[in-house]
Amino acid sequence: MDTEMRRSFPGFFKRKPRRSSVAFKSPKLSKVWKPFNFSVFLMHDNSLTTPSAEEDLLHMQAGLGKRTLTMDGDMTHSEVSSLFEGVFPKLKSISGGWLLYKAAGGNGRRHLSVVPPETEGYTGSSIKSASGGGKTMLYISPLQDKLDMAPLSTDAEEFSRMPKAECKNCKTVMPLQLLALHVAQCRKSECISGDDDDDDDDDDDLECISEAEQEICVTRQNLLQRVLLQWQRQQRGSPINQLKVTFIGEAGIDTGALRKEFLTEMVHGIELKMFEGDSKGKSPIYSVSDLESGFYRTAVEIFAVSLAQGGPPPCFLRSWCFDFISSGELNVTKADVDDVEYASLIERVEAADDVRDLTDEIINCGYTGSLTTNKKDGIIRAIVLHATLRLTPILQQLRSGLKIYDFLEVIERQPLICAPLFVPKQDDDDDTPDADYIMSIIVPDMSVKGSMRHTKETAILNFLQDFLQELQDTGLFVFFFIFIQPSTICCTGFLQGFEEFPAYTSL
């Protein structure tokens, strides 16, 4: 009916002219720069794949490898170059230019793809976009030069910002990351260079050399309990030696991958079985049997080995636990109580109209004051102290276990540098969903692959991702509800008013 009426009386059904979109353009907001951390890895040549675990260590010894930097502002290319040269002095010697690369997703060795520089070179904005706001590591690759891979001296400029410790054997001070390898070589050279040439002494030398490795041979079944016991029974090896792992019944020679897998599983298993809490941090579970067995000391020795030999950091401790380890001081609040029983008691005290109903439980926590409603703060403080003070023998055992590699001394000297290895990021960090999160929860119902509709839908998805990223980079981020139908992606309505963004006009 409507169609026929338009044909018969076109004068009455003329479409109203569309208003120019220029009048409805939203004003551009001034760009608010938010500082972010990102990781870069300086490679020694123009490789097309990411380095292996063994190559990571060689790069680190040569003053190359991974560094974590902070981008405080939208830097120019020259400022970015100065930032990189500050942590990689060898980068100053490159005369043939360099480019940034990033790796594809997945594990193991991955292919690298170039990050194209802008007209003015690499800027803070381009690095922030390429790294996903610091979530993706970038690789610096020299185009025509090859950097020297010879190990540097321990006092080299490249190691000036790294935490250091002293080798007890030769009294050499060196970066903690290199100390594990040095200790093994230092022991080996000391044994080989003995002055006594007797045959018996030769046998002793061979035995001493074999001690340069700590061997763990274990099944995957009940891994945590068996490793804690076997770790304590080690006679020929020591935690300061290089760790070699064999899983019984599985073929394979440990060249570093098995060790990393083993340490990853152990750190995760210790976190689940011996600590309690949430994503903000965890405290040790109060267990007298584990304390008497020395399992907490063994657990933290595994943490130290993991930190020194390429495993993951135990980044799950409560900040008050780390503060006690680093300084011996106890500073806790009710939010630091992870024990379910005492956390529940604190909640009941706060909600109680008459705290005398909880007299027995309160007195058991060591509170000796009057049980009145206006004394709730003192009662809660007593519960908090009771719940945390009983953990101090466990924390003392953790401190004792960190003495290997002289790691405790390093923590006491540089607590701020070492804290990120043990304490997770807190809630004051920005955890607002970003563009990557929005795209990750979209589950499109696409048309048949290869069809024209599928091609258009893919183009719209790519555009939407670029659009959201631009919103995020400019500090303007809104939540979108994306409705995806069998062959239509209804996102046009969400884009009105944002025509000034380049991605909008390029679709």
pLDDT of residue 492: 37
pLDDT of 192 over the 50 cut: no
Indicate whether 228 and 251 sit together in one domain: yes
The DSSP call for residue 15 is P
**By the 8 A CB rule, do 187 and 238 touch?**
no
Q: How confident is the model at residue 504 (pLDDT cuts 50, 70, 90)?
A: very low
In a domain, 152, yes or no: no
Q: How confident is the model at residue 24 (pLDDT cuts 50, 70, 90)?
A: low
Indicate whether 439 and 356 sit together in one domain: no
Indicate whether 280 and 188 sit together in one domain: yes
Mean pLDDT lowest among 157-171, 296-310, 484-498: 484-498
**Per the structure, how many domains does the chain have?**
4
Average pLDDT for residues 65-90, to the nearest whole number?
Answer: 88
Mean pLDDT lowest among 7-21, 38-52, 216-230, 256-270: 7-21
CATH of the domain at 49: 3.10.20
Chain mean pLDDT for the chain: 78
139-188, pLDDT tens digit by residue? Answer: 999 988 888 877 777 777 777 777 777 777 777 777 766 776 666 556 54
pLDDT of residue 350: 92
The domain boundary residue, chosen from 401, 421, 441: 421
Indicate whether 288 and 200 sit together in one domain: yes
Residue 204: domain span: 177-314
Q: Which residue has the higher pLDDT, 479 or 148?
A: 148
Q: How confident is the model at residue 500 (pLDDT cuts 50, 70, 90)?
A: very low
Indicate whether 382 and 495 sit together in one domain: no
Q: How confident is the model at residue 487 (pLDDT cuts 50, 70, 90)?
A: very low
In a domain, 488, yes or no: yes
User: Of the candidates 278, 269, 239, 288, which has an alpha carbon nearest to the alpha carbon of residue 406?
Assistant: 239
Max Cα-Cα span within the chain: 118
pLDDT of residue 106: 66
Indicate whether 123 and 183 sit together in one domain: no
Mean pLDDT lowest among 20-24, 423-427, 465-469: 20-24
CATH of the domain at 206: 3.90.1750
358-387, pLDDT tens digit by residue? Answer: 999 999 998 988 888 889 999 999 999 999
Mean pLDDT lowest among 72-81, 274-283, 347-356, 431-440: 431-440
pLDDT of 92 over the 80 cut: yes
pLDDT of 52 over the 60 cut: yes
Please work out, in degrees rounded to the nearest 5, the angle formed at the alpha carbon of residue 38 by the alpha carbons of 283 and 268: 30
Residue type (1 letter), 227 = V
The domain boundary residue, chosen from 421, 438, 457: 421
Neighbouring CB atoms inside 10 A of 405's CB total 23
Indicate whether 113 and 133 sit together in one domain: yes
pLDDT of residue 297: 92
The domain boundary residue, chosen from 287, 314, 341: 314
Mean pLDDT lowest among 21-30, 190-199, 339-348, 407-416: 190-199
pLDDT of residue 241: 76
pLDDT of residue 136: 87
Token pair for 296: 């907490």
Indicate whether 336 and 451 sit together in one domain: no
Indicate whether 243 and 204 sit together in one domain: yes
Indicate whether 345 and 443 sit together in one domain: no
Indicate whether 207 and 294 sit together in one domain: yes
Q: Which residue has the higher pLDDT, 199 or 117?
A: 117
The pairing of beta strand 112-115 with beta strand 164-166:
unpaired
At residue 277, the 3 state secondary structure works out as strand
Q: DSSP letter string over 470-485?
A: HHHHTT-------EE-
d(CA 341, CA 288): 17
Percent of the chain with pLDDT over 70: 76
In a domain, 240, yes or no: yes
Alpha helices by DSSP H, 163-309: 176-192, 199-210, 223-233, 257-274, 288-293, 295-308
At residue 488, the 3 state secondary structure works out as coil
**By the 8 A CB rule, do 363 and 369 touch?**
no
Neighbouring CB atoms inside 10 A of 202's CB total 12
Q: What is the dihedral of CA 215, 219, 222, 224, to 10 degrees?
A: 20
Average pLDDT for residues 8-16, to the nearest whole number?
Answer: 67
Indicate whether 303 and 250 sit together in one domain: yes
Helices 176-192 and 53-61 cross at an angle (nearest 10°) of 90
Q: How confident is the model at residue 482 (pLDDT cuts 50, 70, 90)?
A: very low
